[in-house]
Amino acid sequence: MTGKLNAWNGRNVTMSRRLTLVKSVLTSQVIHLLSALRVPKGILKLIDNKRKQFLWAGNEVLTGGKCKVNWIRAARSKKGGGLGILHLGKFSRALRLRWLWKLCKKENGQWLDSETPCTTKGKQLFVASTTITVGNGDNISFWENAWLQGRRPRDIAPTVHNISRRKNRSLRAALLNNNLVRDLDLLNAHFSAAHFREYCELWHQVTQTRLHHDTPDNITWKLTADGTFKTKSAYEAQFIGSSATSFVDFIWKIWAPPKCKMFSWLAIQNRIWTADRLAARGWPHNNSCVLCRATQETGIHLFAECRFVKRIWDAIGTWARIEGLSPATGQPFQSVEDWRTMLARLPSNEAKSLRSLIMLVIWKI
Ligand SMILES: [Zn+2]
């Protein structure tokens, strides 16, 4: 990555182009490795710092002023209000789940003895996203797969799992000749009543299991329509619960050059260096709006409330025959996003054209 970065002249590249480079070169470069290795968090952070620095500052030193939106937000999906940069930790977890999938499907022929690069969190995600139907028990890992009414035996009886000397037996092998019991280290110094209780609970459930010797085990992935594993679905599942924004319709899906979209994305989050934000940091700024010279420049003032700018919106509204484009006097907006939402709801036969027009006017202002 550093080699690539040194060859690029980030200063002369616009931010939208730097974003493309971050996504399609810096990120995709490491994906292959991430799918096979359990990469330490520190390394992911280092990679993230490189991506962050290039996006915001090109080849220059990254300072607080250049970093306009925090990285966690920028790395969200576009639907979630971010730039759609991949979150490396979550994406690599999703990539590595394919190993567990392949193990269950016996796709790589080295079942049970190989150690997958999956972390505990990854395994839990896998358990929550799959349904297992017991057949002959050959493809199911007794301890690791959630075959017992949707739960893993190691979760039902964690202390028994601890004293088992063969943790990688298949379901069939574990049930054969009572291997499950033979595997237990009963002379273990820590053997206690808790072990016994959990063992009884587990045994009670296991004895109700019947293997079907003629049918293979079946595993389905709950997050796709056809029941097969897709990395994308495993990645997106990790964002469930985060709020959705309308940025895709407002910004990313409309007709405008990428630099205008990028600017609009910053503007809607009030991340443009207007005078109020410069003042808050104690940086040099004009005391009054340079257009009307009447009041302090804020994001919402600059784009909607300045009387100079209102005349522009009036003229555009008349020209394009759109009513309500110019903000009415005494119509206070909480934020730029508030105002953009109002604009996006204007009645129009061609919503996308209208949104594009609005974005281009904002860019010109
Ligand atoms: Zn003004």
What separation in Å is there between the alpha carbon of 265 and the centre of ligand 1? 22
What separation in Å is there between the alpha carbon of 313 and the centre of ligand 1? 14
Query: Same structural domain for residues 113 and 18?
Result: no
What separation in Å is there between the alpha carbon of 328 and the centre of ligand 1? 15
Q: How many helices (H) and strands (E) does the chain have?
A: 20, 2
The pLDDT value recorded for residue 219 is 87
Separation between Cα atoms, residue 134 and residue 206, nearest integer Å: 12
217 within 8 A of 140, measured Cβ to Cβ: yes
Query: Same structural domain for residues 253 and 344?
Result: yes
Own/partner pairs, 192-195, CB within 8 angstroms, 24+ separation: 192/159, 194/159, 195/159, 195/160, 195/163
The pLDDT value recorded for residue 112 is 46
Comparing 67 with 280, which gets the higher pLDDT? 280
The one-letter amino acid at 262: M
Whether the per-residue pLDDT at 114 is higher than 70: the answer is no
Place 230 in a pLDDT band, splitting at 50, 70 and 90: very high
Query: Same structural domain for residues 285 and 162?
Result: no
Separation between Cα atoms, residue 218 and residue 230, nearest integer Å: 17
From first CA to last CA, the distance across the chain in angstroms is 37
Give the pLDDT confidence of 142-164 residue by residue, as tens digits.
888 888 888 889 888 888 888 88
What separation in Å is there between the alpha carbon of 326 and the centre of ligand 1? 14
Whether the per-residue pLDDT at 237 is higher than 50: the answer is yes
Query: Same structural domain for residues 191 and 269?
Result: no
Place 109 in a pLDDT band, splitting at 50, 70 and 90: low
Q: Does 273 reside within a domain? A: yes
What separation in Å is there between the alpha carbon of 29 and the centre of ligand 1? 46
What separation in Å is there between the alpha carbon of 35 and the centre of ligand 1? 52
Query: Same structural domain for residues 222 and 254?
Result: no
Separation between Cα atoms, residue 194 and residue 301, nearest integer Å: 67
Q: Does 100 reside within a domain? A: no
Query: Same structural domain for residues 233 and 117?
Result: yes
Longest dimension (CA), the chain: 89
Query: Same structural domain for residues 221 and 255?
Result: no
What separation in Å is there between the alpha carbon of 351 and the centre of ligand 1? 28
88 within 8 A of 31, measured Cβ to Cβ: no
256, two tokens: 């405008």
What separation in Å is there between the alpha carbon of 277 and the centre of ligand 1? 15
303, two tokens: 């784009």
311, exposed or middle or buried, with CB in 10 Å at 0-12, 13-18, 19+? exposed
282: left (phi over 0), alpha (psi -120 to 50) or beta: left
Whether the per-residue pLDDT at 113 is higher than 80: the answer is no
pLDDT mean over 223-248? 86
Question: Treating both helix axes as pointing N-terminal to C-terminal, what angle do 258-268 and 336-344 enclose, rounded to 10 degrees?
Answer: 120
Residue 52, CA distances (Å) to 69, 148, 345 in order: 10, 44, 34
* Per-residue 3-state assignment (H helix, E strand, C coil) for 78-93: CCCCCCCCCCHHHHHH
Query: Same structural domain for residues 297 and 205?
Result: no
What separation in Å is there between the alpha carbon of 320 and the centre of ligand 1? 24
Q: Does 97 reside within a domain? A: no
Q: Does 283 reside within a domain? A: yes
Pick the last residue of a domain from 237, 269, 294: 237
Domain ranges, residue 18? 2-86
What separation in Å is there between the alpha carbon of 290 and the centre of ligand 1? 7
What separation in Å is there between the alpha carbon of 16 and the centre of ligand 1? 28
What separation in Å is there between the alpha carbon of 283 and the centre of ligand 1? 20
Place 191 in a pLDDT band, splitting at 50, 70 and 90: confident
Query: Same structural domain for residues 125 and 198?
Result: yes
What separation in Å is there between the alpha carbon of 304 and the centre of ligand 1? 9
Q: Does 154 reside within a domain? A: yes
According to DSSP, residue 244 is labeled: P
Whether the per-residue pLDDT at 260 is higher than 50: the answer is yes
What separation in Å is there between the alpha carbon of 60 and the centre of ligand 1? 33
What separation in Å is there between the alpha carbon of 311 and the centre of ligand 1? 11
Continuous segment of H or E residues that includes residue 208? none
Pick the last residue of a domain from 55, 86, 117: 86
Query: Same structural domain for residues 331 and 264?
Result: yes
pLDDT mean over 77-82? 87
Query: Same structural domain for residues 154 and 33?
Result: no
Q: Does 93 reside within a domain? A: no
What separation in Å is there between the alpha carbon of 298 and the centre of ligand 1? 9
What separation in Å is there between the alpha carbon of 247 and the centre of ligand 1? 26
What separation in Å is there between the alpha carbon of 310 and the centre of ligand 1? 9
Q: Does 165 reside within a domain? A: yes
Query: Same structural domain for residues 217 and 270?
Result: no
What separation in Å is there between the alpha carbon of 322 and the centre of ligand 1? 23
Separation between Cα atoms, residue 20 and residue 108, nearest integer Å: 35
Which stretches of 66-213 are DSSP H helices?
71-74, 88-105, 120-129, 153-156, 158-163, 171-175, 179-182, 193-206
Q: Does 68 reside within a domain? A: yes
What separation in Å is there between the alpha carbon of 318 and the centre of ligand 1? 21
Whether the per-residue pLDDT at 252 is higher than 60: the answer is yes
What separation in Å is there between the alpha carbon of 359 and the centre of ligand 1? 19
Question: How many domains in the chain?
Answer: 3
Pick the last residue of a domain from 202, 237, 272: 237
